[in-house]
Chain A
């Protein structure tokens, strides 16, 4: 698989480390009433879709950026690559 890095251009997926579902960006608030349920779902449960999947990849052998890659889990086709920091900020995170 080739990941089209927004800054570095097309790079071999072997340069990256895979973390998992991009929903891992949305860490629950530990002070919420149902924080325990939220953290259980955050830490362990996954949508695991067959089809389009937004996921976190880390460019360990490159510029060490975190990316949000939109990839089809049935065909391995990658349709979108974003810098994870931009995605997190767009969702209201401060960093």
Chain B
């Protein structure tokens, strides 16, 4: 069924009795060309682009819980492509371009809202760094705009410009950045993949990876063995656990990142604002709640909840740049488990086992990457060569010394 404004109107007038399910609930077949482990945003977008762009439809997505039950529903919904390094920026700009056409492409309302993202500048050194970043963005075809404090005061009068420790001297805008409705992204991709013949199998936990003579030939699941020519891991947050089934150790630690929502407020924040000095990022959802987050808790964990010291730290960061939110009450907080890679950048690569592929290590930048991650992973799975914008996202880059060290601080698993 194709969705349209006319259909909404017609269904509204006829009692909404004509809507059908957005995707099937198929039984797993004994064999597929490609099995994708993980029915989250990245797994579903991989399935979608495999079926749509690369004509591969004998594909199954295996999901342990329900569709989109992991980090695709636990992030702060920010989309942007304001990166610096050549290993990253073209990839994220591809993602941004896919976001811009996502709703038309999937015929699904993902509420993509290009309401802008702003990085605040507090020092001369930071301004130099952001000028460089803005130019790197231009080189990759993205947009960037440097503004001074006077212009910011007009646009965002509520920020604390004269903060004694971190006075605001300006900012770097990406006007095309913004937010999207995270669950709807997963649902749109699922519906699009399903309609082209991809089997999305929920409540099907992978319990083993079958390797014969150095080649991956399928998986064991809670619903029986399924054979496949290619198996694609796509389980950021649980990558360590799934890769361990294939005897792999990864350059990844699992950490928890908390996110927060305040009570609903009248429209007050026009776009996304990020405060790099104290690490705080915030936007306002269409329902009115302030959606914000900050640092990871900082210790290995697979529990989807964090601890109170970070709650305090994040809220202090918010108060430091916009004291006006001090009276708003915190409504909810939750945690998501992140694949923290050793250089803060992700992996889309083959593994040393034939027929086994790996996508993970998204740190806390996975949501914005959802379209390009799926597109590039589909390209790798279909053609066995990396997509041109994802050639540096290699699993062996720590051995070869080709780190994608966006922050320039060397290896440690607390970057993003």
Contacts and interface: CB of A to CB of B under 8 A. Distances in A.
Does B associate with A?
Answer: yes
Q: How many B residues touch the partner, as a band?
A: 20 to 34
A43 B411 contact: yes
A76 B399 contact: no
Q: How many A residues touch the partner, as a band?
A: 20 to 34
Main secondary structure of the interface of A (DSSP, over half): mixed
Interface in B68-114: none
Contact of B309 (A13, A50, A73): A13
A37 to B, nearest CB: 8
A49 B240 contact: yes
Contacts of B342: 43-44
Contacts of B250: 45-46, 48
A46 B398 contact: no
B303 interface: yes
A43 B413 contact: no
B334 interface: no
Interface in B237-291: 238, 240-241, 244, 249-254
Interface stretch (B199-207, B294-302, B348-356, B365-373): B294-302
Interface in A44-95: 44-50, 53, 55, 71, 73-76
Given A40-B398, A55-B300, A73-B303, A48 B411 contact: no
B302 A74 contact: yes
B303 A41 contact: no
A73 B251 contact: no
Contact of B303 (A14, A40, A47, A74): A74
A10 to B, nearest CB: 15
B20 interface: no
B254 A48 contact: yes
B307 interface: yes
Given A40-B399, A49-B240, A50-B240, 9 more contacts: A12-B309, A13-B307, A18-B299, A41-B249, A43-B411, A45-B251, A46-B253, A50-B302, A71-B299
Interface of A: 1, 12-14, 18, 20-21, 40-41, 43-50, 53, 55, 71, 73-76
